[in-house]
Amino acid sequence: MKKTIKAAAALLLSGLLAFSFAGCQQQETGAGDSTQSSVAESGAASEETSQDASEAADTEESSIDRIKAAGKIIMSTNAEFEPFEYMDGTDIVGIDVDISKKIAEKLGVELQINNTSFDALTAELASGKCDFVAAGMSKDPTREESVDFSDPYFSATQSIIVLKDSDIKSSEDLAGKTIGVQLGTTGDQYCTENVEGADVQRMNKAVDAVSDLIAGRLDAVVVDNFPAKKLVANNSDKIMMLDEALTGEEYCIAVPKGDTELLDLINETLQEMEESGELDEIVGNYMSEE
């Protein structure tokens, strides 16, 4: 992930090298997800919004004043990560969506959700296309170079999914194997940096990696533990999740670098939700649906 995030950043700035690296990944994984906008609750998506956001980033105007004046706050995510964000028909739902609704509510504005590929999220935030990112995104030093993170709201780890009859029993058995990950995630980063001789296949969606695993094109999939549980629950006759925790990660909400005003409001919202037990309740709702 470090590499891909850096590649994205470098690509924006100048890097030819980064261009070829990102280009490779595009070929490996097929075309990137097309960005689609969707509006939670009511109201229409508007192209002007992204302009508004980037214009304001150039000025000294308070982000909260601007959001209130616009009457909406824009959250970007990648709705391929059940139970945190996923499609329910044409709606984007999940734990992060419920948290984001609380943030919008606190500001008294509407929530607009922009659904895009995961590896594009930090760049979207940096370019002012959205106000914040809620995407089960793990706090990470490389990402922190371009965004600011809220207090953590969830602890997670990377998990290994294999076919039920697989001879892969632990992370040690991953060496030299073909492993599917979601492009630009910490799972991508873990496999790229830690697994000897692995052929890391970077997909836009973890669910596609699981399909490839079931079809015999991959030996394993490495993905966050809660989404892994959901993916396994949907195919429990064929695949299983190993118990081993590969990493220790914390999910945080990302805001543009230096936007302490919005960051404070988000931290306040998270703290209130934690103290009232609402956060646990939301997590419980989405996790008990198995």
Report in angstroms how near the CB of residue 154 gets to ligand ARG at its nearest.
9
> Residue holding tokens 């979207």?
124
Q: Which two structure tokens, joined as six digits, stand for 271? A: 């703290």
Report in angstroms how near the CB of residue 269 gets to ligand ARG at its nearest.
19
Which of 78, 150 has the CB closer to ligand ARG? 78
Q: How many residues form the binding site for ligand ARG (CB under 6 A)?
A: 16
The separation between CA 252 and the C-alpha centre of its own chain, rounded to angstroms, equals 10
Q: Strand 85-88 relative to strand 154-156: parallel, antiparallel, unpaired?
A: unpaired
Which of 70, 133 has the CB closer to ligand ARG? 133
Q: Which two structure tokens, joined as six digits, stand for 174? A: 């991953």
Secondary structure in 3-state letters for the chain: CHHHHHHHHHHHHCCHHHHHHHHHHHHHHCCCCCCEEEECCCCCCCHHHHHHHHHHHHCCCCHHHHHHHHCEEEEEECCEECCCEEEECCEEECHHHHHHHHHHHHHCCEEEEEECCHHHHHHHHHCCCCCEECCCCECCCCHHHCEEECCCCEEECEEEEEECCCCCCCHHHHCCCEEEEECCCHHHHHHHHHCCCCEEEEECCHHHHHHHHHCCCCCEEEEEHHHHHHHHHCCCCCEEECCCCCCCEEECCEEECCCHHHHHHHHHHHHHHHHCCHHHHHHHHHHCCC
Q: Which stretch binds ligand ARG (CB under 6 A): 2-10, 25-33, 131-139, 228-236?
A: 131-139
Which of 126, 137 has the CB closer to ligand ARG? 137
Paired strand residues for 193: none
Which of 52, 224 has the CB closer to ligand ARG? 224
Selected binder of ligand ARG within 122, 138, 146, 201 (CB under 6 A): 138
Per-residue x/- track, 213-242, ligand ARG (CB under 6 A): -----------x------------------
Selected binder of ligand ARG within 63, 185, 204, 269 (CB under 6 A): 185
Q: Is 150 in the site for ligand ARG (CB under 6 A)?
A: no
Interface with ligand ARG in residues 62-81 (CB under 6 A) = 77-78, 80-81
Which of 150, 182 has the CB closer to ligand ARG? 182
Selected binder of ligand ARG within 135, 174, 181, 232 (CB under 6 A): 135
Selected binder of ligand ARG within 52, 82, 85, 110 (CB under 6 A): 85
Report in angstroms how near the CB of residue 70 gets to ligand ARG at its nearest.
24
Interface with ligand ARG in residues 238-257 (CB under 6 A) = 249
Which of 68, 257 has the CB closer to ligand ARG? 257
Contact assessment for residue 168 and residue 189, using Cβ atoms and an 8 Å cutoff: no
Interface with ligand ARG in residues 38-67 (CB under 6 A) = none
- Could you list the residues that contact ligand ARG (CB under 6 A)? 1, 77-78, 80-81, 85, 118, 135-138, 182, 185-186, 224, 249
